[in-house]
Structure 1
Amino acid sequence: MRDNTRGQEENSETIAVDRRTVLKGVGTAALAGPMATIGVASAQIVEVIEVEETLFGGFEADGSLPVVDELFVFVHGWFGDTTVRSQASDVLGSVEAGGYTPDAAIAIEWPATNFWYLDAEGDTEAVGAEVARLIEEFSDSGGGNVRLTGHSLGGRIVYWTATSIGSGYTIDTIGGMGAAADGSTVCLGGQWHSGIADNAGTVRNYHSQNDTTVGSAYGGIGDTALGTEGAPCGGASNYTDVDVTASVGGHLEYLGDSQVGSDLATVILND
């Protein structure tokens, strides 16, 4: 960490009905990840930090990020809290195969086992704010570079993290994978554009046309699904959409995918 520096409006009721129908149809497993993923798991031990809901409706982490020079952080998606360590290990394994090994690896576990999807989606902003607080604390304690990654709703969280983090802090690398969001969110005027532009180093958004789970739930007329088509705009100068359709055959297949891991490792190593 070198510097201690949805587009169209939609009726919320329609959103709730549409997404509930789609997500009920695909089932929780399609977005969650309790089934096996592909790729080589990391040999490095991934530690888990739980971000739990408090009695007052906020979220609070049960620990702190380890203060190291190079830190890898992974955030899971819907229902992914039950397998977050293995998911993180798979993603990290693919990055390590690309040549990058961090000093420590953390998986952020948050209460995503929620059959009402919109509640889980709505929690991502507050969870992202708590992850931002953890990174601020990490930096203030002398920590180095943060490589922040997230899958599905975890992709929303990492972009909310960039939007929530305080002025003067930078998240060195962000990798969103199959992010469950509308593409316009990263465009000029979108809710995450400024945070990405001002508070992140390099941002890579991995998307696949084969990711029909996200593609069915987001986008629409005049917009795109961030995890399927990428953004309908150029985004901030430090933001890049990376099409991994040739390698990623479905929503869970980002986890441990060699193309995703190799690209992310190259970005980090050239930082």
Structure 2
Amino acid sequence: MSEKDIPGERSPTGESLTANRRTMLKGTGAAIVGATGLAATSSSAAAVSSWDIDVLEVGDSVFGVGSTPSIPVGDEVFIFVHGWFGDTTVSSQASDVADSMTDAGYEADEYVGIEWDATTINFPAAESETEDVGEELAEMLEEFYDDGGGDVRLVGHSLGGRVVLETINHIDDGYSVETVAPLGAAADGEMVCEDGGGLLDDNWYDGIAANADEVRNYHSENDSTVGAAYGGIGGAALGTDGSGCPSDTAANYTDVDVTSSVSTHLGFLGDADVGADLAAAAAGDTDDDDDNGWGWF
């Protein structure tokens, strides 16, 4: 795996089928949690390689060039969105995250990587682009659901975390993404709060509350890359500190602290604890602490 992401860090280089899958995943997730907590376990499911990732290029249609691609229809679909300078490594990043979920018993019908034009030294421009990419991905998901698609696990790393949150902000009413998971999201923590995050109502609270079954924000205090760029003095960086307002987030939003296992900004990708929690979320088996709004760890 290799990626350059955010300034300051560079790497060195229909029903029955769905019901059956949910039953299988729930049973597997319960066994994992009961026997080993969040540790990765061996699984009979095949490893997910870069070759298994269907990479879809998103963004050209925003500028009127080319058409919007279609998400392959399946009962269970994993979708990963990369961050800054992650264009060329989206398939390997996606496979790292998907494989960590597979180790915990997860299996999807389709594995998708969303590639967008994030290779630019102009970071503010890339950050701004995430809204357009999220809007296009929302249209793709609407088509997917209209065509009979099943459950979606929408995962985004760094600026990709912004993309997935923009996606549920732009998707039309009546659609709801099953699991939305920012990993080390490049954003201020107040962007997910009901009464914060920007001028007027320019934040993600309404989209989270209305257009997702569950949003799980994975953050690590060791992620100095995001922490240096967001949060400001006395504020919270979403990918480092979490929301910073656990009592002011939507009921379906959870901050998941993975500080104990994720030591760098790129460490979210393929982390066993992140994969196990995401697999449990897909199985409907997460065990969150309602008193503080945090996950298992």
Report the identity percentage.
Answer: 54
**Contact 1:59/1:127 (CA < 8 Å) preserved in 2?**
no
Which AA in structure 2 matches 1:98? A
Segments of structure 1 that go 5 or more residues without pairing to the other structure are 1-22
The 2-side partners of 1:52 and 1:124 are apart by 9
Partner of 2:163: 157
1:135 and 2:152 are equivalent in the alignment: no
Are the structure 2 counterparts of residues 159 and 123 from structure 1 closer, same or farther at C-alpha, using a change threshold of 3 Å? same
Q: Could you state the TM-score of these two structures normalised by the residue count of structure 2?
A: 0.77
The 1-side partners of 2:210 and 2:222 are apart by 31
For this pair of structures, how many residues does the alignment match?
A: 240
How far does the alpha carbon of each residue in 1:43-96 deviate from its partner, in whole angstroms, 9 at most, with x for none?
A: 471110001335x73686652111111000000000000100000000000011
The 1-side partners of 2:86 and 2:65 are apart by 17
The structure that has the greater radius of gyration is: 2
What SS does structure 2 have at the residue aligned with 1:247? coil
Are the structure 2 counterparts of residues 156 and 99 from structure 1 closer, same or farther at C-alpha, using a change threshold of 3 Å? same
Are the structure 2 counterparts of residues 162 and 73 from structure 1 closer, same or farther at C-alpha, using a change threshold of 3 Å? same
What SS does structure 2 have at the residue aligned with 1:150? strand
**Contact 1:225/1:231 (CA < 8 Å) preserved in 2?**
yes
Which of the residues 49, 52, 59 maps onto 1:52? 59
**Contact 2:59/2:136 (CA < 8 Å) preserved in 1?**
no
Which of the residues 124, 127, 137 maps onto 1:121? 127
How far does the alpha carbon of each residue in 1:2-25 deviate from its partner, in whole angstroms, 9 at most, with x for none?
A: xxxxxxxxxxxxxxxxxxxxx55x
The 2-side partners of 1:248 and 1:230 are apart by 14
Greater relative contact order structure (CA < 8 Å, 6+ sep): 1
Which of the residues 182, 186, 193 maps onto 2:205? 193
**Contact 1:176/1:205 (CA < 8 Å) preserved in 2?**
yes
What SS does structure 1 have at the residue aligned with 2:80? strand
**Contact 2:53/2:95 (CA < 8 Å) preserved in 1?**
yes
Partner of 1:83: 89
Are the structure 2 counterparts of residues 225 and 58 from structure 1 closer, same or farther at C-alpha, using a change threshold of 3 Å? farther
Displacement of 1:220 in angstroms is: 1.6
1:248 and 2:274 are equivalent in the alignment: no
The 2-side partners of 1:124 and 1:49 are apart by 15
The 1-side partners of 2:190 and 2:277 are apart by 24
1:212 and 2:224 are equivalent in the alignment: yes
Which AA in structure 1 matches 2:228? S
**Contact 2:68/2:140 (CA < 8 Å) preserved in 1?**
no
Are the structure 2 counterparts of residues 254 and 41 from structure 1 closer, same or farther at C-alpha, using a change threshold of 3 Å? farther
Q: Could you state the TM-score of these two structures normalised by the residue count of structure 1?
A: 0.84
Displacement of 1:129 in angstroms is: 0.5
Partner of 2:23: none
